[in-house]
Amino acid sequence: MSNTVFVDGQEGTTGLKIFEYLSKITGIQVLTIDPLKRKDPQARSELLNAADIVFLCLPDAAAKESVSLVTNSKTKIINTSTTFRTDPDWVYGLPELTGSQREAIRSSTRVSVPGCHATGFILSLRPLIDAGVVPRDYPVSCYSVTGYSGGGKSKIEMYEDASIVNERKLGVPRHYALQHTHKHIPEMQKYTNLQYEPLFTPIIANYYQGLAMSVPLIKRNLTKQMSAKNVHELLSAYYGSEPFVRVMPYESDAYLDEGYFKLAECSNTNRIEIFVFGEGDHIHLLSRYDNLGKGASGAAIQNMNLMLGYDEGYCLI
């Protein structure tokens, strides 16, 4: 018997990418809404309650409204917006988070997909905190560089309009959320078990997709005095059996371009690659992945596969 799926917010960047994945899956019937009725609560309610799985690809307020329209206990919801990510009644949709997270996702009817920046940050840092290497009160700072597609349609239209790019000088990377207000910070803190919020600086650059998350650590401030190589060994063991998380070889020069990091190597995949660099007192965790893949739509499909009992990597590998 086929499963029915409805994407609420199917016109957005994340929704369109989810549709692309769904087109590769047999045994899925995709329910669609008349574009003229996509903001009609009654029309949406009918589809929300008819589906086995619903993807919410909506702004926070609209996502909350959609959840309120689901009146049965059968429909499973995968939310891709910020809302519900730290809600205790929702399961955080990062299967690699802990040994029990996959089972929590499989048995849940409410799953929240992690934010793109949060994904690399949590996967890099959580194992080190769990192992007692990084103390929970460590003053973590981090920064990321991401393509403009993560900003949705408005950012895509802006960056792909040459006149706007020239007028606003968008050809160079731009720091933002400088008042420490980025919406991913609460989940970054919660799911690493940090006692304090990290100091996070995101940077948007003039390319379409791909994200690199950088987390520097100072060895003398760690609970356990481990070298960069020791940290690499710990992460390698932790993620050794994961299909979508790869800890790259410690001697990583072969993966650089004359010493420069190649940010976009995971574009159009659901893969995240974690590097560990370091010398002396300095350790540098650097991850790369697709902000539209493992950072959004790919992760959503990975969660759907678990919730429907499919192979986790179905149509993703």
Token readout for 152 is 């949705």
Q: Beta-carbon neighbour count of residue 44 at 10 Å?
A: 21
Radius of gyration of the chain measured on its C-alpha atoms: 20
How far lies 4's CA from each of 25, 199, 283, 312, in Å? 12, 42, 47, 18
How far lies 77's CA from each of 9, 89, 108, 191, 300, in Å? 13, 12, 9, 21, 10
How far lies 268's CA from each of 55, 210, 272, 317, in Å? 20, 9, 11, 11
State the catalytic residues: 116
Token readout for 259 is 């010493």
Pairing mode of beta strands 28-31, 76-79: unpaired
d(CA 178, CA 174): 11
* DSSP letter, residue 152: H
DSSP codes of every residue in 244-289 = SEEEPPSS-GGGEETTEE-GGGGTTSS-EEEEEEEETTEEEEEEEE
H or E element, residue 201: strand 199-205
Query: Are the CB atoms for 224 and 130 separated by under 8 Å?
Result: no
Q: Determine the Cα angle at 137 with ends 273 and 247, to 5°.
A: 15
